[in-house]
Structure 1
Amino acid sequence: MRRISHARKRRGVLAAGVIAITVLGTGVAQAQPTQQSGSAAAATNATATAGAAGAAGAAGTAGTAGTGASPRSAAAKIPDLVGQRVARVAKAAGAGHRLDAKQRKALSDGLLAVDTAGNLDLEIHAVGRVGGKERAELSRLGASVLNGSDQWVKPQRVKALPNAGIFRALVPYDKVIDVAALGWVAALRPTESSPPDAGSFLSEGVALHRADDTQALGHDGGGVSVGVISDGVSNLAASQALGDLPAGVTNLDTGSGDEGTAMLEIVHDLAPGADLFFHTTGGGVANHVAAQNDLAAAGVNILTEDIPFDSEPAFQKGLAAVNGEVLAASGIWVSSSAGNLNGTHAPRVAATGTGAGPDGAAPVGCAVAPTNTVAFNGADTTFDVNVNPGATVGATLQWSEPRAIFPTAGAGGFTNLDLYILNATAGNCLATSTATQGGGSGDTIEQASWTNGGATAVTVKLAVNVTGSTGAKATPLIDLRWRGAGAIDATGPGGSLNPDSNYTDLATSAAAVNGGANQDPATVGLEGFSGQGPVTLVSSTVCTTSYPCPASAPPGSNQSVAGGAGRTATAPTYAAADGVSVSGVGDFGAGNCPATAQGECRFFGTSAATPSAAGVAALVLDAAGGPGSLTPSALTSVLAANATDRGAPGIDNAFGAGVLDAYSAATARADLVVAKNCLPDGPAAAGTAYPCSITVTNNGPAIARAVTLTDTVSSSGTFQLSTTSIGCTAPAGDQSGAAVASCTLGDLESGEQVMVVIRERGNEAQDIADTAKASAGTVDPNLANNSASDTLHIVASADLSVDKSAPATATAGGQITWTTAVDNLGPSTATGVTVRDVLPAQVTVDSVSGTGGATCTAGVPGNAAQPTTCSFGNLAPGAGRTMTVVATIDPSYAGAMHNDTTVTATTADPDLADNTDTVTTQVGAQADLSVTSTDSPDPVLAGRPLTYTVKVANAGPSTAKGVKLVDELPGSVDFTSATITTGSGSCVLVTIPVDPPSKQVECELGTMAPGSGPTTVVIATKVQSGTPAGVIADHATVTATTADPVAANNTASASTTVGTAADLGLTLVADQDVYKPSSTIVYTATVGNAGPSDAQSPTVTVALPDIKQAVYVFDTANCTQAGQTLTCVRPTSLAAGSSWSFNVHLLVKGNKGVVATSAGVTSPTTDPNAANNNTSLSVKIGK
């Protein structure tokens, strides 16, 4: 309610408050600073604020209820304003719990009330539902529960009430911390009891909304029940006595005050035949919801209420708003006041700190120094307001992070914001609220108040400080609103709507136009205080799983992340009259109240607009056929479509749809007819968007206003919708279950027809059922023809394709891999997918496999009737599988090799051209031939046999053709034979006519299969006896007409160590046995070489007889004499098997008798048998 120059009676309900106040010498009140140093507070932002710490001190040790909660965690649930108030009550009460009337009054204000027993009026928000157990725990702590969600009455029409737990209780100041410590408690909040958004005497809204013209047609709201929620109907009987209200008002709970009486009068003026019901709000959200549900249970069709809750979530749909939506969804048309705070609402800006104090100042007396304030208008970091003498300014700050109450009970914020009320110079803190938020903990609301105790109006400044941030992923928006002070700086209308009217679905809200001053809907002015939209539901940062949460964690773990885009809705819904005449019973109203004449007492505020709207709604519902003839949504559509558009064209955030017009809404009738045809009539292949043509015809007689068409499409499968028709939208992407395309067709003249096309596509076999329904803001007298249905019969279609790959070339005998990629190009799932691969006859299958759990079977290469197959089962659209075949190529094959693949499925394929693929591979031959050569024996003596074993192998992969072995023999061996002991072929000895001639064995080995053999050639030789000691080498080389990929192993050598040994034997004979005296003895020395090697330079030493009479004459071997030793050297080697003989002539004089001579032979060549190297001979001279 907005009061204009009139002091009215206030309800005696408890409210919430914030700050300790003392009176300074100037008469201006200032908040007491908290009992900790500013530097410590600045560093830590306090332990759940100093006020909460004070509460803990006043209450003693927390956790007495046995919850195990720590004092710190309990303190975090207590708002700063409650904590500060606890400390003040504790100081005032001393050792007791009693306050006198003066103390109670000083400790209570418009935000928080305290009774004379030192109890604080609080709402206790739970993390879940509450019941008897929780009530008992509160009682044990001395709290008096006034009401709770456990006692809400669920109306029969309502499927389910909001899943919330809340109590309103009077809590002893020294038990506040213990209540907060209960494990089921999410947060404590002051019980909010803000003033409502405020017929002898007739409301001027009757004329503005043309209710009189409607009543003249016989429509007076008869049969419609209207329920009103406000402060009270204390003087209901007085109004009834004046004739402003009928006798039959159903009063469920009287309450206190007469704003409810005035609202009932407005409804009755507009809809005099409607049944009227009333229920007081009772104070607090829990009572308010209970009142809504009680009226719903009593059977009201229309519900209007005017109670604002500034501390309900500003960026979420709180308990009051959700319950309003629930009732609207249950068939009750709900209208709430948009609120009167448009003139006391700061611009919504991002909570970005400027790094500076308020207006650049460094105020003193602050619990936490504000050094990072937010700018509201340009660079202005404070918002100036004017506070009259004796007035209290109460400010509420919220920001777009989760609240700790419903709908996110137990959650909290990430950005730590603090609220300040400063003096005119920003040099002193008058009041603060500095609770802690961060990491998804701490309620995202701060409230502070200050009372001007002086005799003159003063300017104070509101400031918001960004004190810190823990885990915030985006900068939140702030919402700052206040009561009790006028704005000096530029306000911000956006989002000034009451938070409890954050409706986005079926419930409605009313803006206020001054119907008392102007009854022309085309020109009547919007009240400057009227709350405006949009409704913005958004959380800038959230926890992924639970609260609180760390700023970062491993993927899948609980952590803070940026919130979604949220939702924005235009609000209010419409505009209705305020400033209208009321009786003013109970001194309620502005002007001369109670009134004695029309217009003396008026009712201002959106509190008057919402019952005006309810009266119009009752008339229109009556005209449409009474309760049940229009759903709440349809009734709103009729009202909005027939409203007089104001402000920006179309629906806007100030007037909504415009000023309500009861007469147009009640009288206009337009019979809409819908026809529908989906093509084709028969089966439709999946993957195509098929047209469903919808024709809407207005058969009149009136213009059909704001015609909308909803096309509800449903199927058991997934489908897509699209449209290019003007005014139509369809949801993007895949849809399942049901989806709705909608069209805004505007106004249709009588007889006018419009056609739209909604295209429907299904990628799988399914029946897509389609029902189109038209509605309008004009009442339709025949709803039976407003809808039409048709069905598309989608049959599956899957375009399979194969893409086969293989190497361009391959080697005979090697492996080849064929890879077949199968893709489902859609649109449907392909069932029974099978790939058949006809392999060429020249391969042997090694393996066949398929991805995705395929079942594969090797077929018979070259046999088209027995292909190699892989069965893949079902293949989703866009999915692919791979078949891999590994085979070995016939090693003897060469040439082109073809492979053909085909894919099939049991699902129809619209394009068979890509179901087959062929690849060709050119097969060549490669044979890795290798040769090895070994010798035996090694070492070998010259003159002895030497055997070479040469082996030729084919490692493949291909068959080697024209294989030839050439073995180059050492020049010092003589060829004996060449024999092929394994394998086949023929060998010959070839002498190469060079100087000296060389010899090689050439073997034609023909064709060798890979892995066969090896072919072994044994070459027998004999080392020439004259071969000197050393090393001789045999060289083998293999070649073929088939390419050999590895040339390094095509040659081999065998090196043999050759030794020498010559067995020399010496014989010495004389030409006679007996000689005459003085005869010449002729000795014959013979050296024989038994081999096996030639003996180098044999040397024979002859020991001549050692007698003077023996005279050496000569020899035939060019011997040399040294004394009696004769040394005879053969100048050349003595070949094995040969001998060397020479004569020695010796003259013996006289008659000497027996003459003995000895000799020995040696050679540089090793002699294996020295026993025969020496000999001796005796002859006789004379008798």
Structure 2
Amino acid sequence: MKKHYLKQLLLGSLALALVSETQILAQGKSPERGLGVAKNKKSKVSTDLVKVAEDQAARAQRSAPVISQVEGISVTPDVQIFDGYVVIEATSVEGNASGLLQELQAQGLKNGASYGVMVSGLFPIAKLEGLEAVSSLRFVRPAYTPARNIGAVTSQGDVSLKSDLVRAKYNVSGVGVKVGILSDSYNNRNGAAAGVASGDLPANVQVLEDLPSGGSDEGRGMAELVHDVAPGANLAFNTAFLGQASFAQGIIRLEEAGCRMIVDDVVYFAEPFFEDGVIAQAAEEVVDRGSSYFSSAGNQGQQSYQAPYANSGLTVPGIEGAAHAFGPNDVRQSITIPPRGSLTISLQWTDPFFSANGVAGAKTDMDMYLFLNGTLVRSSAADNIANGDPVEIIGVTSNSTQPLTVELVIVKYAGPDPKLLKYINYGSTPRFVEYDTQSSTIAGHANAEKVIAVGASAYFNTPQFNPNTPRPIINGFSSLGGTPIYFEDGVELKKPQVYEKPEVTGPDGANTTFFGADTPIDADVFPNFFGTSAAAPHVAAVGALMLGGVVGNLPPIQIKKRLIDSALDMDNPLTPGVFDTGFDLKTGYGFVQADVAFEELGNRVRSESLTAVAAADAKVGSTRAGLPAGTEASVYPNPSTGQVTFNVLAEENQPISVVVSDLSGREVFRTKGTQRLSLTQNLGALPKGMYITKFEVAGRSSSQKLVIQ
């Protein structure tokens, strides 16, 4: 541990009694010196987990655990506990988590998963004390409850996307495509059977892993939205709430279960802002295998502070470290929390995450302190250099019916001055933020290059429902893009990379049978599902229609391109007086229009009445089968009466060949080209039956079946 009495009080911990602590600070003493804590003692186990164990022991002795509350402020209780188990995230010493996973499982870890150097799962609270002796453990903390980006039923989003028109015109429904969903839970509320009975869910939803208990079943709400847009698609679900490593492995499991469209609506507060963490890495891994990945952009609007670290040279009485100057000679930032509101701050700085790369970790140790009326009410002071992750998290909730103004202090405890500080507030929208920079809030895996981040526009603010809005209007809470990436595999980039985020916008506020609350805006009594959590599954379902309704291979990069090309341009309300033509960091490229996407696909669209080889084509023609990533290859119409078009789009200067053979392997047609090949050939003289079309690009190949009728 480091030189603080409060040490590592992170989000979700039950804080120690603050009375003696406040008295010590009032005297201007170091908390550590006042209590005689050993200066150089370091612990593998976060103070939060120690407190969880202490609270359980207190309950066993029938004494109440201490919960801090100072003048209406209390700790936000976001440690996840299930029947004597707590959800943990642990990093390994050796850089490979397989050995750590085995050691933790021997100690009682349940539902364990590993990815990179991280392990997560359910660990018995009674055995937390023994974690200090686990040889392969570097550090362990709770996996705090992540944010869900929320705010006989058919989603109105289906109409606003015009996917209803696509199904009617082209006779497509997503048959042959499987959509994977990640959220908190699927059937904790025992309503799945009723959803199947009412026709709002398919009967064969594959649940790979559900949350043990206590979930809202938001994943089932997302499934209802997907089923409305792509009713022929199969669905699968995996919880994303059992830690980052479990989330990452859930992504892989869904892809391995055959999901070609995967969507989530979850963000962890400890996901790296400036580097791809394990969840982002898993998402990009499945994209490389041939599955498209969609994530809700987030509901944090512009609730972010971002600025270069300004070393004031000043210290705050009782706190060790050089305070960050928010303004000239001002090291305290005032934030006004609304009545009964919350403040959840994840602070990060430009250092690499050991938990993300397994090689390089934090070089600087930063701490946060929160004051109310001069009294210290909350702190986050992990030893970042020891645990390797440059993140500090504070969470408080107001119990007052009046706004409360708190003051935030950020200090550098040790190490070099970082280039940049950034925090995102995942709590309520503040009434006031001093020195507010209104910065980007799309971070974590939604900010990964190959992930499609989806913003939200209420369906009733789209042209299909409101003739006074010729262009959809973005929801104010929809998160802002622009978070820079500084590191790759722990190595600092020569120049920070900023991706175009969000890519597109989709609808929210639509009906489900159970999730959310009914709004008076519509005339029915069904609950309305708001937030980017609702927008992302809508857009993923359009991707399922495209993949299931098109002849040949349509890799993730082409799905993404066609969704972007279809989008109805929207205005960024953060730049009043100027229409932001094309991409902007609030709305992306605009609101997805399924009918435009299908028009652009032209005669490659096939009716599902002719899909005798559709499922086989989708799997055989995938990137995972052998073609280079991003290659598009198709043969259509299929089945054909003779006139056949071969279409291949590859990277620059890559050689292409197309060979058609009968089932005996005898070659009946061959052609070749470079980078782009589009050729219509009359094969009507061939005997009717099935043939194999082999596409070869840059020495890699894939095959599709071709039927001549």
In structure 2, how many angstroms separate the alpha carbons of the residues matched to 1:285 and 1:349?
27
**Deviation of the 1:123 alpha carbon:** 1.4
Partner of 1:463: 409
In structure 1, how many angstroms separate the alpha carbons of the residues matched to 2:329 and 2:475?
26
Partner of 2:148: 196
Please show how residues 323-342 of structure 1 align to structure 2 within 5 Å.
Answer: 323-342=282-301
Partner of 2:242: 283
Corresponding position: 1:401 with 2:351: yes
Q: In the superposition, relative to structure 1, how do residues 541 and 307 fare at CA in structure 2: closer, same or farther (>3 Å)? A: closer
Partner of 1:711: 652
Partner of 1:659: 591
1:575 to 467, 492, 505: 505
Partner of 1:534: 482
Q: Which amino acid aligns with 1:406?
A: A
Please show how residues 759-774 of structure 1 align to structure 2 within 5 Å.
Answer: 772-774=674-676
Q: In the superposition, relative to structure 1, how do residues 239 and 32 fare at CA in structure 2: closer, same or farther (>3 Å)? A: farther
- Encode CA deviations 1:160-218: one digit per residue, 9 max, x unaligned: xx533413242547844x524534223222213224211x3221211211111111111
Partner of 1:614: 540
Whether the aligned pair in 1 keeps the contact of 2:517 and 2:527 (CA below 8 Å) is yes
Partner of 1:352: 310
Q: In the superposition, relative to structure 1, how do residues 281 and 447 fare at CA in structure 2: closer, same or farther (>3 Å)? A: same
Partner of 2:182: 229
Please show how residues 76-87 of structure 1 align to structure 2 within 5 Å.
Answer: 77-79=44-46, 81-82=48-49, 85=51
Whether the aligned pair in 2 keeps the contact of 1:226 and 1:274 (CA below 8 Å) is yes
Corresponding position: 1:432 with 2:379: yes
| SS of corresponding position for 1:287 | helix
1:129 to 88, 93, 96: 96
- Encode CA deviations 1:220-247: one digit per residue, 9 max, x unaligned: 2222211212122321222223332233
Please show how residues 156-195 of structure 1 align to structure 2 within 5 Å.
Answer: 163-170=116-123, 172=125, 175-176=128-129, 178-180=130-132, 182-195=134-147
Corresponding position: 1:17 with 2:5: no
Whether the aligned pair in 1 keeps the contact of 2:337 and 2:398 (CA below 8 Å) is no
In structure 2, how many angstroms separate the alpha carbons of the residues matched to 1:570 and 1:421?
34
In structure 1, how many angstroms separate the alpha carbons of the residues matched to 2:458 and 2:22?
46
In structure 2, how many angstroms separate the alpha carbons of the residues matched to 1:507 and 1:168?
25
In structure 1, how many angstroms separate the alpha carbons of the residues matched to 2:540 and 2:563?
11
**Deviation of the 1:300 alpha carbon:** 1.4
Please show how residues 549-568 of structure 1 align to structure 2 within 5 Å.
Answer: 564-568=494-498
Q: In the superposition, relative to structure 1, how do residues 785 and 279 fare at CA in structure 2: closer, same or farther (>3 Å)? A: closer
Corresponding position: 1:598 with 2:586: no
Whether the aligned pair in 2 keeps the contact of 1:221 and 1:622 (CA below 8 Å) is yes
Corresponding position: 1:477 with 2:404: no
Partner of 1:301: 260
Q: In the superposition, relative to structure 1, how do residues 259 and 437 fare at CA in structure 2: closer, same or farther (>3 Å)? A: closer
Partner of 2:582: 650
2:203 to 232, 237, 247: 247
Partner of 2:565: 641
Q: In the superposition, relative to structure 1, how do residues 328 and 498 fare at CA in structure 2: closer, same or farther (>3 Å)? A: same
* TM-score, normalised relative to structure 2: 0.73
Whether the aligned pair in 2 keeps the contact of 1:16 and 1:113 (CA below 8 Å) is no
In structure 2, how many angstroms separate the alpha carbons of the residues matched to 1:478 and 1:514?
29
| SS of corresponding position for 1:247 | coil
Partner of 1:317: 276
**Deviation of the 1:713 alpha carbon:** 6.8
Partner of 2:441: 496
Partner of 1:524: 472
Q: 449-458 vs 378-387, which deviates more?
A: 378-387
Corresponding position: 1:145 with 2:109: yes
In structure 2, how many angstroms separate the alpha carbons of the residues matched to 1:92 and 1:148?
22
Q: In the superposition, relative to structure 1, how do residues 165 and 116 fare at CA in structure 2: closer, same or farther (>3 Å)? A: closer
| Root mean square deviation, CA, Å | 4.2
- Larger relative strand fraction: 1
Q: Which amino acid aligns with 2:226?
A: V
Whether the aligned pair in 1 keeps the contact of 2:296 and 2:535 (CA below 8 Å) is yes
Percent identical among aligned pairs is 23
- Larger relative helix fraction: 2
**Deviation of the 1:470 alpha carbon:** 2.2
Whether the aligned pair in 2 keeps the contact of 1:90 and 1:173 (CA below 8 Å) is no
In structure 1, how many angstroms separate the alpha carbons of the residues matched to 2:34 and 2:92?
26
Q: Which amino acid aligns with 1:194?
A: P
- Encode CA deviations 1:896-938: one digit per residue, 9 max, x unaligned: xxxxxxxxxxxxxxxxxxxxxxxxxxxxxxxxxxxxxxxxxxx
Whether the aligned pair in 2 keeps the contact of 1:575 and 1:658 (CA below 8 Å) is yes
In structure 2, how many angstroms separate the alpha carbons of the residues matched to 1:540 and 1:373?
27
**Deviation of the 1:282 alpha carbon:** 4.0
Q: Which amino acid aligns with 1:225?
A: K
- Encode CA deviations 1:128-179: one digit per residue, 9 max, x unaligned: 3334x54564467xx53123335xxxxxxxxxxx533413242547844x52
- Encode CA deviations 1:509-555: one digit per residue, 9 max, x unaligned: 11111113434585221111112212422159978xxxxxxxxxxxx
Partner of 1:451: 397
Partner of 1:416: 365
| SS of corresponding position for 1:711 | coil
Q: In the superposition, relative to structure 1, how do residues 72 and 113 fare at CA in structure 2: closer, same or farther (>3 Å)? A: farther
In structure 2, how many angstroms separate the alpha carbons of the residues matched to 1:540 and 1:134?
24
Corresponding position: 1:384 with 2:335: yes
Whether the aligned pair in 2 keeps the contact of 1:122 and 1:171 (CA below 8 Å) is no
Q: In the superposition, relative to structure 1, how do residues 599 and 137 fare at CA in structure 2: closer, same or farther (>3 Å)? A: same
Q: Which amino acid aligns with 2:343?
A: V
**Deviation of the 1:575 alpha carbon:** 0.7
Whether the aligned pair in 2 keeps the contact of 1:419 and 1:465 (CA below 8 Å) is yes
| SS of corresponding position for 2:148 | coil
Q: Which amino acid aligns with 2:445?
A: D
Q: In the superposition, relative to structure 1, how do residues 386 and 771 fare at CA in structure 2: closer, same or farther (>3 Å)? A: farther
* TM-score, normalised relative to structure 1: 0.45
- Encode CA deviations 1:1111-1148: one digit per residue, 9 max, x unaligned: xxxxxxxxxxxxxxxxxxxxxxxxxxxxxxxxxxxxxx
Q: In the superposition, relative to structure 1, how do residues 489 and 190 fare at CA in structure 2: closer, same or farther (>3 Å)? A: same
Aligned pair count reads 592
Whether the aligned pair in 2 keeps the contact of 1:392 and 1:484 (CA below 8 Å) is yes
Q: In the superposition, relative to structure 1, how do residues 223 and 540 fare at CA in structure 2: closer, same or farther (>3 Å)? A: closer
| SS of corresponding position for 2:420 | coil
Whether the aligned pair in 2 keeps the contact of 1:577 and 1:609 (CA below 8 Å) is yes
Structure 1: unaligned runs, 5 residues or longer: 1-14, 23-29, 54-70, 151-161, 544-561, 673-706, 715-769, 790-1183
Whether the aligned pair in 2 keeps the contact of 1:45 and 1:435 (CA below 8 Å) is no
Q: In the superposition, relative to structure 1, how do residues 92 and 186 fare at CA in structure 2: closer, same or farther (>3 Å)? A: closer
Please show how residues 905-1054 of structure 1 align to structure 2 within 5 Å.
Answer: none
Partner of 2:553: 629
Q: Which amino acid aligns with 1:568?
A: V
| SS of corresponding position for 1:295 | helix
Whether the aligned pair in 1 keeps the contact of 2:24 and 2:34 (CA below 8 Å) is no
In structure 2, how many angstroms separate the alpha carbons of the residues matched to 1:378 and 1:205?
50
